[in-house]
Amino acid sequence: MTQPFDATAASAAYRNALEVIGAVEPTIAGAIRAELDDQRSSLKLIASENYASPATLLTMGNWLSDKYAEGTVGHRFYAGCQNVDTVEQAAADHAKALFDAPHAYVQPHSGIDANLVAFWAILANRIESPALAQASAKHVNDLSDEDWTTLRKALGDQKMLGMSLDAGGHLTHGFRPNISGKMFHQSSYGTDPETGLLDYDKVAATAREFKPLILIAGYSAYPRKIDFAKMREIADEVGATLMVDMAHFAGLVAGKVFTGDFDPVPHAHVTTTTTHKSLRGPRGGMVLCQPEYADAVDRGCPMVLGGPLSQVMAAKAVALAEARRPEFQTYAQAVADNAVALAEGLMKRGVKLVTDGTENHLVLLDVSSYGITGRQAESALLDAGIVTNRNAVPRDPNGAWYTSGVRIGTPALTTRGFGVDEFDRVAELMVDVLSSVTPTTTSAGAASKAKYVLADGVADKTRAASAELLDKHPLYPGLDLN
């Protein structure tokens, strides 16, 4: 499932690059080599990670990095941007074609940055205020203190409605640790306590009462599809802008697993994403939007972003070109099929899953029936060479730090070529580990939330079994640094 590549050419490219790097700073050449070994030898189940192609990765190491290119294609604040224009145009064109989007802005450096661009664009587009229009038309360096005061007042007390954190929402959707929690009043919608599923009637009721400017849909830990046509109806009814953050599942949209009502792009006014998760591109972000938001979105740099990373925009173009090939649809379907196999493999061995299954690339385990916290599960799995991350489950009694859940996903191992049988085996290995963990008892006699003992031999046995799976599906087959 890896994007096919010429292993001889890629090996030579990396060997030579590491020789040049190592001559200046051997520590870094060593860390780059070691990272490949680590990635190759661990069972990576982190739902937000993947393995980009050698072509995508190689595109990031060159002199495009040396160019300043503030502004947009054909309209730069620096001279000599013709090649960056080619790069940015290509990336935007691929994004528009892949997602059938009227407009694409490919400069955001990450998903969080893409959301900030979107928030600002929605505010600028929706708030009718001559003072605001005047101020936001200026270059950010030209805004006086007075302009800023006017801006803040003109924005007023704007409201954002998003999915609650413990239901799987993201902290950029109006929560405290992110500036969105300071820019907006926030209210959130959760999931049904019985089924764990989104209840659209409840979302609608909350929206009617709260009257948000922005209704956000999207998640990083909800294992189900979202009906974006329904979300748009709710947004329209209350006069909100529908913003969808598809950071996690963009690969399933690109690969046509999520279509019709489940494809956010035609329904949302503004769609944001990362490019490095299921989409399998370079670390970065992107904003897609309807034409009426395009001008405001294009002001992202310098409004809230630093100068564009031209080398990363170039890598986005390469990865998006890959995602437009039919093989990527096969990959995306395999990601979803593998997630079902993983979920079923866990459930038939007695593991409780949030929503009792999955419809996307991720699975959320509730490990409380093992008498352990998410933190203990995460650490014990890591001892056995299985890389996951702990994650709160809805109404989690252990809070966001220790948690009762573990989040896993299939994009990375599917890139290595794992299929449904291998994912069933992964489920078996995970269950072996989870059922061999005992919390350490504290001096007060209570079970610790962090310390644990993993039964003798389980870590070694699991590592050996994963090594077998990993050897069968090598990462970057044929790539040899020696």
Ligand X SMILES: *Cc1c(COP(=O)(O)O)cnc(C)c1O
Report, as residue numbers or ranges, the catalytic residues: 68, 70, 245, 274, 277, 283
**Among 11, 83, 89, 110, interactor with ligand X by CB under 6 A:** 110
Answer for the pair 303, 123: CB distance below 8 angstroms, yes or no.
Answer: no
Task: Kindly identify the residues of this chain, within the stretch 316-375, that bind ligand X according to CB under 6 A.
Answer: none
**Among 44, 126, 170, 416, interactor with ligand X by CB under 6 A:** 170
Task: Kindly identify the residues of this chain, within the stretch 276-295, that bind ligand X according to CB under 6 A.
Answer: 285
**Among 218, 255, 308, 405, interactor with ligand X by CB under 6 A:** 218
Answer for the pair 53, 322: CB distance below 8 angstroms, yes or no.
Answer: yes
**Among 206, 274, 360, 410, interactor with ligand X by CB under 6 A:** 274
- Minimum Å distance from CB 444 to ligand X? 37
The C-alpha atoms of residue 1 and residue 75 are separated, in whole angstroms, by 39
Task: Kindly identify the residues of this chain, within the stretch 394-453, that bind ligand X according to CB under 6 A.
Answer: none
The number of residues in the chain equals 482
* Three-class HEC string of 46-85: CCCCCCCCHHHHHCCCCHHHHCCCCEECCEECCCCCHHHH
Answer for the pair 55, 322: CB distance below 8 angstroms, yes or no.
Answer: yes
Residue 283 vs 352, nearer CB to ligand X: 283
Whole-angstrom CA distances from 126 to 88, 118, 122, 237, 410 are 27, 12, 6, 16, 38
- Minimum Å distance from CB 407 to ligand X? 11
Angle of CA points 372, 165, 288, to nearest 5°: 130
The 10 Å Cβ neighbour count of residue 142 is 9
Residue with tokens 């994912």: 423
Least Cα distance to 43 among 434, 480, 458, 422 occurs for: 422
C-alpha of 124 from chain center = 26
Q: Is 247 in the site for ligand X (CB under 6 A)?
A: yes
Stretch that binds ligand X, among 96-104, 105-113, 187-195, 463-471 (CB under 6 A): 105-113
- Minimum Å distance from CB 48 to ligand X? 5
- Minimum Å distance from CB 107 to ligand X? 13
Residue with tokens 């109404």: 395
Answer for the pair 373, 449: CB distance below 8 angstroms, yes or no.
Answer: yes
Stretch that binds ligand X, among 58-66, 209-217, 244-252, 467-475 (CB under 6 A): 244-252
Size of the site for ligand X (CB under 6 A): 14
Residue 171 assigned as binding residue: yes
The C-alpha atoms of residue 322 and residue 310 are separated, in whole angstroms, by 19
- Minimum Å distance from CB 240 to ligand X? 18
Residue 139 assigned as binding residue: no
Residue 274 vs 368, nearer CB to ligand X: 274
Question: Of all residues in the chain, what percent are helix, strand and coil, respectively (each to 5)?
Answer: 50, 15, 35
Least Cα distance to 155 among 180, 187, 189 occurs for: 180
Answer for the pair 481, 444: CB distance below 8 angstroms, yes or no.
Answer: no
Residue 186 vs 220, nearer CB to ligand X: 220
Residue 269 assigned as binding residue: no
The C-alpha atoms of residue 336 and residue 316 are separated, in whole angstroms, by 23
Stretch that binds ligand X, among 94-102, 214-222, 422-430, 467-475 (CB under 6 A): 214-222
The C-alpha atoms of residue 223 and residue 410 are separated, in whole angstroms, by 12
Residue 111 vs 385, nearer CB to ligand X: 111
Dihedral sign (CA 400, 217, 50, 282):
negative
Residue 182 vs 326, nearer CB to ligand X: 182
Residue 257 vs 429, nearer CB to ligand X: 257
By rule CB under 6 A, what string of x and - marks binding of each residue 21-60 to ligand X? Answer: ---------------------------x------------
Sheet of strand 389-391, all strands in order from the earlier edge strand to the far edge:
352-353, 362-366, 405-409, 389-391
Residue 285 vs 385, nearer CB to ligand X: 285
Q: Is 112 in the site for ligand X (CB under 6 A)?
A: yes
Angle of CA points 107, 250, 314, to nearest 5°: 35
**Among 103, 248, 390, 449, interactor with ligand X by CB under 6 A:** 248
Answer for the pair 298, 287: CB distance below 8 angstroms, yes or no.
Answer: no
- Minimum Å distance from CB 172 to ligand X? 5
Residue 454 assigned as binding residue: no
- Minimum Å distance from CB 220 to ligand X? 3
Q: Is 166 in the site for ligand X (CB under 6 A)?
A: no
- Minimum Å distance from CB 144 to ligand X? 31
Nearest residue (beta carbon) to ligand X = 111
Binding-site residue positions for (6S)-5,6,7,8-tetrahydrofolate? 165, 169-171
Binding site residues, ligand X, CB under 6 A: 48, 110-112, 170, 172, 218-220, 245, 247-248, 274, 285
